[in-house]
Structure 1
């Protein structure tokens, strides 16, 4: 259960105060000895531990452990901010303020009163333009759209991010078939290089194949780095099963035949398939939900008031439609006859995910005060209400 009595600001200030105490003259000797160079491995280690916990959560692991690892990573950020403060360079407030200012300036469709955008692709395109404008103000040059991808990032991740950034200004394949065709072309060229025996040519063509695979991964929205990490996880689990079975059978180390190990490998694969599915899986992105409504003005008035409370933006005004969204989901209401009929046995209920139980309670109170005719019902952390078009909505946490 989320503790709503503690606020992010107060707890972050407490962490900053603890860090200052650790670095004080009478603080912790180890913390006092650290500098930017010595902290590098710890920052990387904590970031990778967060990534591991993200993977575990995806397979039904504990969100609480994930929370703890995020705290360890946050401590590294606070530690670096303290070093900056001691030198008079910047403080933790500057770090938080800078990213807040950046997010506001790069989301004019949310904070700038410019109205909505037509989906996530337009958001990314606008982001690239705004970054270029920022670079020009700072350096006098727009620089490259590829700037900002760390050279030290894992190569597969970097390849995918580079192609993504290039796509934001239109440098991209037109469709999935073209991307897949390019991969086939690169595989043919790799086969030719292998046949030639030229090591330089093999390395060159293998690099092109891996780059094409990373681009394909971006196109099908299955990050190559994540996919490979999960494949490594499966390989490790299966191979350790082989080792365990060979030890149980008394087979001396290194003396098992390939056919023997392959049998155990296949058993491990079958065991994986027999396991229950993960408790949580990433949701597929939903672009647009479109409804025809009989009374568009009433629907617009209702959702114009409700959208800000959900953290949604309102689309550009149009006489025949009204749109609202949060960057991942867009809901459009169009003038016309109602297009949603309740299925047999009950009403269609559309569920929106709430960030917390407190958010559910706040929205329920707001609807009760401003829109008493919605038939809003709050029960067990789940809010159900009806809009003017008769659509039934549910607002609840993912665990509600």
Structure 2
């Protein structure tokens, strides 16, 4: 970890916030977060790390942004088939930044890390009345959830400030420009200020490109900047409309450019051609060769969803399984959803259980567990032991067998897809 790295590396293993190469599968977030807060307090205390003790909110700004971007880098690597542990580590570095800022605020008597956790917990529960509210609120689909979120956010702002505020409030001015443009157009669209279809968005982009061409013809810098900004804004709006984040698309394009250009450098070096001594046509041949290599590779993936798993139930009656899991859901605080006659869904936050009625009764009911399989086994074991002590019969890496109160044996087996 960059901040205070020298001190953190010198701590004993029991005091260190990271266990290299492994995820703490059994530790609770609360205990580990308290441990990290304690480490931060020690770094800032008298006799702690001189570098950490010198920092303030302003000096930490670049590190906060940098750590967020490093998280994005690791997400891209995971999407390319890379390991998950570096992402875990970078998320930890980002969390450390949050703890660091909270510690500075605590020293000034403003708020603590506990206040930060409480504030976001209160906000999330209040903005999800369809999940946590005492009165059942029905929201069908993500679009209704987003619209209700915006409505609740506006009501909160009015209670705090006494003013209605703008629909566009809440988008940080320090955000990357493409991201900010997307978020602003998204907010405007929620009150109907949007193109009815993709043709309108593309037409606007063509209009802005024509205006940019006219500005370039004049040679006036201010006019070119103005029209180029409109083109970029229209591109960001197009990205939102086709549900492809502009920042992600541009970042992947930069990655492709970097890979191809470095291929040119390597090829020229192997040929003994000094860098800068090759013709454009020569470099273009190597560029096209790099593109051809890319086509032979597996296509880039979106950030992978958690692997699916299958539970062989030994029974084929979906209603019987609903009855059992409804009783578990009540005990564990899970949220059941029954919008589909042939599917039963249960959401526990980190784990989602999805049952599908089998096409052929003899084959039993299909069960999918939408969670990373290794941790899902541990989580499922924990919740079953909590709901029905002694129900777990056997547990090993990637598999779990337990007996429900009715005596049925349930076998969980992780399957990587």
TM-score range (shorter-chain normalised) is 0.7 to 0.9
Question: TM-score, normalised to structure 1's length?
Answer: 0.79
Whole-Å separation in 1 of the counterparts to 2:24 and 2:63: 29
Tell me by how many angstroms 1:93 deviates.
0.5
Q: Label 1:192 to 1:312 Cα distance change in 2 as closer, same or farther (>3 A).
A: farther
Structure-1 residue corresponding to 2:234: 212
Distance, in Å, in 1 between the alignment partners of 2:301 and 2:217 is 47
Alignment of structure 1 residues 100-179 onto 2, 5 Å: 100-113=121-134, 114-179=136-201
Contact 2:394/2:400, CA 8 A, preserved across alignment? yes
Asked whether 1:182 is paired with 2:204, we answer yes
Cα 1:201/1:395, change in 2 over 3 Å:
farther
Of the candidates 255, 274, 283, which is equivalent to residue 277 of structure 2?
A: 255
Residue number in structure 2 paired with 1:358: 378
Partner of 1:342: 360
Instruction: Classify 1:346/1:257 alpha carbon distance in 2 versus 1 (closer, same or farther; 3 Å).
Output: farther
Q: 1:8-52: CA deviations, max 9, x gaps?
A: 111111111111111111111111111112111211221111111
Partner of 2:82: 61
Structure 1: 5+ residue stretches without partners? 285-294, 386-392
Q: Does 1:270 align with 2:287?
A: no
Give the superposed CA RMSD.
4.0
Q: Please list the CA deviations of residues 200-246 of structure 1 after superposition, one character each: whole Å capped at 9, or x if unmatched.
A: 33333322221121112112211000000000001011001111111
Cα offsets for 1:175-224 (capped at 9, x unmatched)? 33332333233333333433444443333332222112111211221100
Among 76, 90, 109, the alignment partner of 2:97 is 76
The structure-2 alpha-carbon separation of the partners of 1:364 and 1:19, relative to structure 1 and needing over 3 Å to count, comes to closer
Q: Match for residue 291 of structure 1?
A: none
Cα drift, residue 101 of structure 1:
0.7
The question of whether the paired residues in 1 share the 8 Å contact of 2:353 and 2:367 is answered with no
- The CA distance in 2 between the partners of 1:41 and 1:249, in whole Å, is 41
Comparing 186-195 with 91-100, which one deviates more in the overlay? 186-195
Greater RCO (CA < 8 Å, at least 6 residues apart): 1
User: Structure 2 CA distance, aligned partners of 1:239 and 1:342?
Assistant: 54
How far apart are residue 314 of structure 1 and its match? 5.0
Question: Using a 3 Å threshold, how does the CA distance of structure 1 residues 297 and 72 change in structure 2: closer, same or farther?
Answer: closer
Q: Which residue of 1 aligns with 2:41?
A: 20
Per the alignment, residue 258 of structure 2 pairs with 236
Query: How much has 1:300 moved relative to structure 2?
Result: 6.9
**Cα displacement (A) at 1:380:** 6.1
